[in-house]
Structure 1
């Protein structure tokens, strides 16, 4: 592949986003992508994904029945249980695998992704140095939060985020600020102390969410909500893993509730 491009000087770009601002941007974009998978109606208005990205999402992650909207498949639910870096590599692999369907040489795409990973996080690189294929790829990567685009007076540029410059690492360090606590009581009442819209939609996959306050989600794990999850290919084990591991949080489930849960769903 090519050597990394030279970043634009401050005299051209002026003030650029700080690393903290970039990381928050990347987290927000990634959460928006996950929301699109779970419940597109919860994605903020004005947020759209390109057809190439949507096809990438649908490859193995979504399933649809005749006359029904696409829903998260069993593989899609398993995808939610992955760490962010594993999710990213999965999406990149599918994006590369479907390159020929879009008329793009996979080798060129891989070369560009490798080049991008060696760019400096937070630096600005001119869009005018990119080929047409690379420009399209940058627009797709922007939707996932790998780069941020900015427009100047005479030039436009992209700014790599942590997702782009270190594809082999996750955002777990910075994600801690968006995590909370989940409490599941013996009667299967569920309390999730989180302000994340994504967390709420994930809980809806297997529980009945009753109401959501700014920092608290209240619901219940019911027989109907679980059967609905099972109909969509989600297993009891995956629900347990999701509650105890996906959020990477402190989760309180008393022993009686844990035992009753497995009895309840089997």
Structure 2
């Protein structure tokens, strides 16, 4: 699962766990309805848009015609999620479904532009005498957010993050240690995984932890969620008035400033600015493509002509990248950012550092060290793909085009000049391989070395009087799908924890004397 899908799924799961009363209150805010819609999977969005202007209930038989038969399981899964969110309601004894009327009205108002004037915040009409532009906001957001990441990787900082940030890092399991003193906190396995995620996933991790504390902070969870979702719909570079915010939202503003999501010149300022970290909260793209924007600036001046917007194989490319990986596992990163270097040092054996580049190598020991800290092989591969140098993407695209051209010509020759008659499916199966396949496979193999032993909870059956007794129970356990392991020679087998009752009952019926 990609990082984008990961954070969306996590946010939706949090919303599903909320009581129905809170969900209904959330849907009274048009901005929240729009943000939740943007977080839904594509098929779920299709269901919503198909019903938003259709007032009558939709029968389940009619709904089945909206999806192809092979996607029926996916359809059922998404409908269950929409019902858990109470976006879709059952009517007519469950034979029909309809859209939540509160959500329908407010979401439709967003689509038609008839929502209330302040639904997406109140833009300040008077100019700010202090010059604040997009570049200033980007610099402020990067500085605040990178301070948190620098602190987690152990970089020496002039000033540590605020106490509220430290509390969230500890409560979220990203760091641990006695008290909240910065000197006593150390990164955890979960924290290592956190560092390799994109900025949206990282921000939502802290925000969801913050939402779990709303009761302890005597804050209205609806107010908090509504404000977070409104931030995702605001315009970057514009200032918004504080006077229209509730008391809960005003107190939330100070905490969000510590994360770099909003800029406010002073705590008593009458206006605030959302940063790029806030305006992309529900976006498909990440606000910060790399661990440090300073790295992006280096690459932007070096190579902007080779950027690719996306790959044909379905792997979206980032705007900039710094990492080059060779088939011999050597790594070159064009960056002078201490944060980028510190993150690379988690799984790369760094050997040489220059003014604007570091060189190292992926080794069995360096990758295993990262894996033992809780980072997965898929996370490492995704991180390297996301931060790959634009030239690697160009070469991968050229290689993919040659494969497709070769298969296309081969199909034409095989089919006697009629393309598309034999194996066009082979063409669509090609993927954009940004990283060398040997490197990707080896990283996965190093993970498999650590995953050789798997543990299962269950029960061991042994001491059978005869081979027949063993065969009868062993076959029954296999038939009902609870058998994990068996040894016919020593007459013993192992069943799952859930299957013990069924096997024991069967044994009592078939072998009452035992």
TM-score (norm: length of structure 2): 0.43
Q: CA deviation at 1:141?
A: 0.9
The answer to whether residue 189 in structure 2 is matched with residue 73 in structure 1 is yes
Residue 159 of structure 2: aligned partner: 46
Unmatched 5+ stretches in structure 2: 1-28, 30-117, 179-183, 291-295, 298-319, 393-433, 450-514
The answer to whether residue 280 in structure 2 is matched with residue 163 in structure 1 is no
The answer to whether residue 251 in structure 2 is matched with residue 139 in structure 1 is no
The answer to whether residue 207 in structure 2 is matched with residue 92 in structure 1 is yes
**Partners in 2 of 1:191 and 1:139 — Cα distance?**
40
Q: Pick the aligned partner of 1:183 from 321, 324, 328.
A: 324
State how 1:95-110 maps to structure 2 within 5 Å: 95-110=210-225
Contact 2:169 2:175 in 1 (8 A): no
For residue 238 of structure 1, give the secondary structure of its aligned residue in structure 2: helix
Residue 68 of structure 2: aligned partner: none
Q: CA deviation at 1:61?
A: 4.7
Unmatched 5+ stretches in structure 1: none
For residue 27 of structure 1, give the secondary structure of its aligned residue in structure 2: helix
Residue 372 of structure 2: aligned partner: 231
Q: CA deviation at 1:64?
A: 4.3
Q: Pick the aligned partner of 2:140 from 2, 25, 29.
A: 25
The structure with the larger Rg is 2
Q: CA deviation at 1:128?
A: 6.2
The answer to whether residue 179 in structure 2 is matched with residue 62 in structure 1 is no
Q: CA deviation at 1:147?
A: 0.9
Contact 1:146 1:162 in 2 (8 A): yes
Contact 1:128 1:156 in 2 (8 A): yes
State how 1:110-259 maps to structure 2 within 5 Å: 110-127=225-242, 132-151=247-266, 155=269, 157-169=271-283, 172=286, 175=289, 177-178=296-297, 179-245=320-386, 247=387, 249-250=389-390, 251=392, 253-259=435-441
The superposition leaves residues 152-209 of structure 1 with CA deviations (integer Å, 9 ceiling, x where unpaired) of 9x95532122333442126647748354332234443321112333321211111233
Q: Pick the aligned partner of 2:129 from 14, 17, 36.
A: 14
Aligned residue-pair number: 257
Bigger relative contact order (CA 8 A; separation at least 6): 1
**Partners in 1 of 2:123 and 2:185 — Cα distance?**
45
More strand by share: 1
**Partners in 2 of 1:61 and 1:47 — Cα distance?**
18
Contact 1:23 1:174 in 2 (8 A): no
Q: CA deviation at 1:33?
A: 2.9
Residue 485 of structure 2: aligned partner: none
For residue 102 of structure 1, give the secondary structure of its aligned residue in structure 2: coil
For residue 215 of structure 1, give the secondary structure of its aligned residue in structure 2: coil
Residue 34 of structure 1: aligned partner: 149
CA root-mean-square deviation: 3.5
Instruction: Identify if the C-alpha distance between structure 1 residues 119 and 173 changes in structure 2 by more than 3 Å, giving closer, same or farther.
Output: closer
The answer to whether residue 122 in structure 2 is matched with residue 5 in structure 1 is yes
**Partners in 1 of 2:229 and 2:373 — Cα distance?**
36
TM-score (norm: length of structure 1): 0.76
Instruction: Identify if the C-alpha distance between structure 1 residues 260 and 107 changes in structure 2 by more than 3 Å, giving closer, same or farther.
Output: closer
Q: CA deviation at 1:249?
A: 4.3
Instruction: Identify if the C-alpha distance between structure 1 residues 211 and 149 changes in structure 2 by more than 3 Å, giving closer, same or farther.
Output: farther
The superposition leaves residues 104-142 of structure 1 with CA deviations (integer Å, 9 ceiling, x where unpaired) of 232232233344445443233455665554333112111
Instruction: Identify if the C-alpha distance between structure 1 residues 104 and 113 changes in structure 2 by more than 3 Å, giving closer, same or farther.
Output: same
